[in-house]
Amino acid sequence: LVVPMSFLANFLAACSSLQKSAKDKTLDEEFASEIQLNAFEFRNYRTTLDPPQQQVLERIVNQWCAMLVKGKTMTVEGLPDKVFLDKDMLTLEYQNEFYPLRSISRLELVKDMDEMMAGSSAPYGLDVTFEGSMGDISLKFNFEQERHRLHFALMLRILRTRDPMLDPSSNVAVITEEVDEEDHQTF
């Protein structure tokens, strides 16, 4: 069997430019809100990231969103419990309390010495402070791996910026507290 090279080249070119047709949309995509759909379309935003970096960031945020929308068991305030993200990915839910991401005022990344001394497998802490009308509320999340803590913090920060009700003048203070300098890596 002899196949002309031009046929093979045309075939491969056609396969590399496939697009999803409107009829192939899933039921979830049809009923998703505009805000929800835009969470996965970071390509619409202008960033200074190179395309490969942008893709990595998209994957991180998409994975966390998928886990939290379904409900993910996390260590919060020292105890394992389910944490949810609403379908618009603008509000965190924990113990039937709702925390709008736009009200995040501070993210503090710490190595939790108490958790380390207690032999916990989740020594990497993230204190998230939400501004409220009755005062600030803080939730403490713990992670087994430093990378998971960083990914969660990135996801919160990115989703926060998408809220149409966010005051553009509000900022999030990001504080890092490293206990062991020898664990700190610079590149």
100-133 tens-digit pLDDT: 999 999 999 998 676 666 666 788 999 999 998 8
171 burial type by CB count under 10 A (0-12 exposed, 13-18 middle, 19+ buried): exposed
Q: What pLDDT is stored for residue 44 in this prediction?
A: 52
CA 110 vs CA 115, 124, 148, 149: distances in Å: 11, 6, 13, 10
Calpha distance 117→123 (Å, rounded): 9
Q: What pLDDT is stored for residue 168 in this prediction?
A: 86
Calpha distance 103→172 (Å, rounded): 9
HSE of 92, CA atoms in CB hemisphere, 13 A:
26
**Which regions in the chain score pLDDT beneath 70?**
1-47, 112, 114-120, 178-187
Task: Report yes or no on whether pTM surpasses 0.75.
Answer: no
Q: Is 134 helix (H, G, I), strand (E, B) or coil?
A: coil
Q: What pLDDT is stored for residue 55 in this prediction?
A: 86
The dihedrals phi and psi of 3, each to the nearest 5 degrees, come to -110, 125
